[in-house]
Each structure stands twice: as structure tokens, then as C-alpha cells.
């Protein structure tokens, strides 16, 4: 485990399950893919448990490796239509990112969601100006838990790893932080339960975004 910096200069966030709830849009888009290949539908909860490792991995889980290319095309086509209306900010996302930004803490997003979907969402929610770096695997980075997105985020923000914290909702986020040698604060607000997160030994677990501020603004 890594000690949390008492006053971090940068916070790198995951997106889905951490700052936004996009499961309705993902579930609808995945349903189109399943139907196209004659597969039975899955529940919203099953969709929630499948996500987090990138779009190609999600589609492969749903319809098999041999159908990934066409499945990804179908998913993207549907998600382009329903992504915004099927996504909402999680409680505290607006106020917490605003508080951090106003305190001069640099913010970034490193997500396995394609950045082509992330950037319009941030713009629509009025958050894009707060993030100095936003990336996904479609920007040429290997998906998390590979740490390259984190390294580029810190380089872009001009902050060293010892002055940064990663915030996410899944074991893959904890693994990513460990690979990047960043402390990790986990939230049970997305695809993983608190018990599953505890089993991965994050540096801290908080129940919601608002509870981040006492940790990050301790000074």
C-alpha cells in the first residue's frame, strides 16, 4: 500500500462507475450486439459486471472473439445515439471536481471507455474545462491495467507520481495504480462491491465522491 499525499497536486479519475453512471447506455448498446448475433439478452446488473476492461473485451465476452470487429461497430453505432441520454453524473461528481479544480489541483481522466465517447460526455455535463488530460484506449494507449495512460496524464499535467492520486471503482483501477506506483482511493459506486475492492487492498475506500474531499483537501 502507498501513503496518500497530504495535499496532492493531481487527481486522476476513472470515468464509468467513478464519475458517471453510463450503464443504461452501455446496456442498450450491448443489447443490440447480442441480438445481432442471436445471443440472449443480459440484465442491467450483468452488464455492469461485464464492463471495465475496454470495449473490445466487453464485446468478446458477449459474442465471442470471432465477432469482435462487427460487434464493436454495432455497439459504437448505437452508443453514438444513446450515450448522452443514457448517462448521468454520479452524486458529487460536479461539486467534487469543481472543489478540486478551484483549489488548483490538476485533474485527469484515464478510462478504458473510448475517449471518443468520454470527451462529448464531459462537454455536455460542463466538466471538460476541469480536466487537463482525458484519454482512452482509442488514443493509442493499451487499456488499463497497463499504466501508460497514467504516465502520460502525469507528464501532461506536469506532476510527479508522488504528488498524485488515482480514484477508481474496480479492481482493474487498483491494479493500474499499483503498476503506475500511485496511491489509489476506491469507490464501491460502480462495477465492484466494497468486499471485492477490499480484497485488492486499495490505499483507501470511501463510500461516495463527497467523502474524497476530506482525504484530498486535508491541508
In a domain, 4, yes or no: no
Q: How far apart are CA 64 and CA 60, in angstroms?
A: 4
Task: Specify if 177 maps to a domain.
Answer: yes
Backbone angles phi, psi at 136, to 5 degrees: -150, 175
Rounded CA-CA distance 147/151 in Å is 6
Domain residue limits at 158: 10-21+88-216
Q: Annotated active-site positions, please?
A: 14
Residue with cell 462487427: 70
Cα angle 29, 82, 27; round to 5: 30
Instruction: Establish if 133 belongs to a structural domain.
Output: yes
pLDDT at 192: 92
- 27, 73: one domain: yes
Q: Which pLDDT score is estimated for 150? A: 97
| Stretch 18-39: mean pLDDT | 94
* pLDDT, tens digit, 9 for 90 and up, residues 34-83: 999 999 999 998 998 888 788 898 999 999 999 999 999 999 999 989 98
pTM of the model: 0.90
- pLDDT band with cut points at 50, 70 and 90 for residue 3: confident
Helix intervals (H) in the chain: 23-36, 44-50, 55-63, 68-82, 93-102, 115-124, 148-157, 171-180, 194-198, 212-216
- 496524464: which residue's cell? 153
CATH of the domain at 199: 3.40.50.1000
Q: What is the C-alpha to C-alpha distance for residues 1 and 67, in angstroms, rounded to an integer?
A: 40
Co-location of 106 and 175 in the same domain: yes
Half-sphere exposure of 74 (CA within 13 A, CB side): 21
| pLDDT of 55 | 87
User: pLDDT band for position 5 (50/70/90)?
Assistant: confident
Average pLDDT, the chain: 94
**What is the per-residue pLDDT across 86-124, written as a single tens digit (0 to 9) for each?**
999 999 999 999 999 999 999 999 999 999 999 999 999
Count of domains for the chain: 2
Which pLDDT score, from 0 to 100, does residue 1 have?
Answer: 64
| Residues 36 and 42: beta-carbon distance below 8 Å | no
Last residue of a domain, one of 82, 113, 128: 82
**Domain end point (choices 48, 67, 82):** 82
Which residues lie closer than 8 Å to 135 by C-beta, 6 or more apart?
A: 108, 109, 110, 111, 115, 141, 149, 152, 153
Whether the CB-CB separation of 184 and 203 falls below 8 Å is answered with: yes
Distance CA 48, CA 131 (A): 25
Predicted pLDDT of residue 213:
94
Amino acid at each position: 500500500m502507498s501513503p496518500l499525499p497530504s495535499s496532492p497536486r493531481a487527481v486522476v479519475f476513472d470515468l464509468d462507475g467513478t464519475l458517471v453512471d453510463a450503464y443504461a447506455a452501455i446496456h442498450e448498446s450491448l443489447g443490440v450486439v447480442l441480438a445481432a448475433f442471436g445471443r440472449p439478452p443480459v440484465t442491467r446488473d450483468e452488464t455492469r459486471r461485464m464492463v471495465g476492461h475496454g470495449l473490445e473485451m466487453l464485446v468478446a465476452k458477449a459474442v465471442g472473439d470471432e465477432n469482435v470487429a462487427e460487434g464493436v461497430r454495432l455497439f459504437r453505432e448505437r452508443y453514438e445515439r444513446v450515450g448522452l441520454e443514457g448517462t448521468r453524473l454520479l452524486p458529487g461528481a460536479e461539486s467534487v471536481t469543481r472543489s478540486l479544480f478551484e483549489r488548483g489541483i490538476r485533474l485527469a481522466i484515464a478510462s478504458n471507455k473510448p475517449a471518443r465517447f468520454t470527451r462529448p460526455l464531459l462537454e455536455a455535463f460542463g466538466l471538460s474545462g476541469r480536466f487537463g488530460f482525458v484519454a482512452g484506449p482509442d488514443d493509442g494507449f493499451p487499456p488499463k491495467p497497463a499504466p501508460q495512460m497514467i504516465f502520460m496524464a502525469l507528464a501532461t499535467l506536469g506532476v510527479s507520481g508522488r504528488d498524485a492520486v488515482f480514484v477508481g471503482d474496480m479492481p482493474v483501477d487498483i491494479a493500474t495504480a499499483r503498476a503506475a506506483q500511485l496511491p489509489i482511493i476506491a469507490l464501491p459506486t460502480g462495477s465492484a462491491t466494497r468486499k471485492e475492492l477490499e480484497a485488492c487492498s486499495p490505499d483507501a475506500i470511501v463510500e461516495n465522491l463527497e467523502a474524497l474531499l476530506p482525504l484530498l483537501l486535508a491541508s
